[in-house]
Structure 1
Amino acid sequence: MDLHEILEVTVTGLGYELVDVERSPRGRLLRVFIDKPEKHRGVDVEDCALVSDQLSRVLLVENVDYDHLEVSSPGIDRPLKKEADFERFAGSMITVKLRLPLNGRRNFSGMLQGVHDGKVRLQIDSGEVDFDLVNVDKARLVPNFDLTKSSDGLV
């Protein structure tokens, strides 16, 4: 198994979603981002500690060479990587950077309408735009700080 498969099997086996993996240039730092969609407020420190403990054991058994492991939440500007991410976050504001320009542009920001047949649909100021999911270089959620819709009532 390759590293990504090891991480995917372990993280999903614990009931979490593997969002992203980063390695430092020399591979000494391994950073793993996890999520738990059914957990409304996202993953917390206890979740990260649980996954970190399990990954440490699995990586030792699998003889993966690294010096430092970090496990964290994807953050409020969560990256969108998989087709399932683009489906799950339909209705959210996102930013997208394309690998190849579309109509002379590589950067877009707008309301994610979803994905269908490998095409992402985005509502932007000038209308709707569709682009191939394989053309997405980077996509992230735009944080929403509108507290009027929040049940927390932060003041």
Structure 2
Amino acid sequence: MGWQETVTQTVTGLGLDLVDLERSAGGLLRVTIDLPWVPPQEGQPAPLPQFVTVEDCEKVTRQLHYLLEVEGLEYRRLEVGSPGIDRPLRHEVDYIRFEGQMIDLTLKAPIGVTDSAVAASRKKFRGTLERAEDGVSWQIVWSDEPERKPGQRVSKKRLPLPMQALNFELSDVQQARLAPIVNFKGRQTSAPGSVSE
């Protein structure tokens, strides 16, 4: 069995999801795990978010140490952690789970949008993830309005920039992540620690 299969089977066997697996040339094996997501039942309130704990990371670390040794797969250092506030979105279920959240999106190639203020060469966007009207593809919605600094005065005559939307398919995406936005007035997102050897 190879790296991917061993790590995937170990993580899923412990009731967790494998978010990312990274191997570096220096022998670092970095495993990112998350709790499985169960969509809320229709008519039921969404459950409170739950996060990976240090104990979850320790459990995966212990099991991987054993299995990687048994399989003869060499590494220098093993890190197991949670996805953090800039969690990558890789699969359709990730997009469904985080619909309505602010994301950072990088496309594989620019999507030229005619009759729009979007530059034809633009590939990076930050905005709200939404399901497109066709119910199949996705869209990102944003405004290029600069963020106001606390106490900054804005003229009442100044019109806000319009909202823009860009439809995309998952096959168009090079990388998508939750936007790491921290609200210091209250906890909006949380990412408990990780275990490193």
* Fold in common (TM above 0.5): yes
Give the RMSD, CA atoms, in angstroms.
Answer: 2.1
Which aligned pairs between 1:135-150 and structure 2 lie closer than 5 A?
A: 135-146=172-183, 147=185
Note if contact 2:141-2:165 (Cα within 8 Å) is conserved in structure 1. yes
User: How far apart in 1 are the matches of 2:30 and 2:50?
Assistant: 21
* Shift in CA distance, 114/21, structure 1 to aligned 2, threshold 3 Å: farther
Which aligned pairs between 1:1-155 and structure 2 lie closer than 5 A?
A: 1-26=1-26, 28-37=27-36, 40-103=49-112, 104-114=121-131, 117=136, 119-125=137-143, 126-146=163-183, 147=185
Task: List alignment gaps of at least 5 residues for structure 1.
Answer: 151-155
Could you tell me the TM-score, scaled by structure 2's length?
0.67
How many equivalent pairs are there?
A: 148
Could you tell me the TM-score, scaled by structure 1's length?
0.84
Note if contact 2:29-2:77 (Cα within 8 Å) is conserved in structure 1. yes
User: How far apart in 1 are the matches of 2:186 and 2:76?
Assistant: 44
Moved more, 129-138 or 51-60: 129-138
User: How far apart in 1 are the matches of 2:16 and 2:71?
Assistant: 20
* TM-superposed deviation, 1:61: 1.6
Q: Which amino acid aligns with 1:120?
A: W
Whose helix fraction is larger, Structure 1's or Structure 2's?
Answer: 1
Whose strand fraction is larger, Structure 1's or Structure 2's?
Answer: 1
User: How far apart in 2 are the matches of 1:5 and 1:120?
Assistant: 30
Where 1:71 maps in the other structure, the secondary structure is strand
Q: Per chain length, whose mean CA-contact separation is higher, i.e. which structure has more relative contact order (CA < 8 Å, sep 6+)? A: 2
Q: Which has the larger radius of gyration?
A: 2
Q: Which amino acid aligns with 1:123?
A: V
Q: Which amino acid aligns with 1:31?
A: R
* TM-superposed deviation, 1:30: 0.2
* TM-superposed deviation, 1:148: 5.5
User: How far apart in 1 are the matches of 2:5 and 2:171?
Assistant: 20
Task: List alignment gaps of at least 5 residues for structure 2.
Answer: 38-47, 113-120, 144-162, 189-197
Q: Give the structure 2 partner of residue 153 of structure 1.
A: none
Question: Sequence identity, in percent?
Answer: 43
Where 1:105 maps in the other structure, the secondary structure is coil
Where 1:102 maps in the other structure, the secondary structure is coil
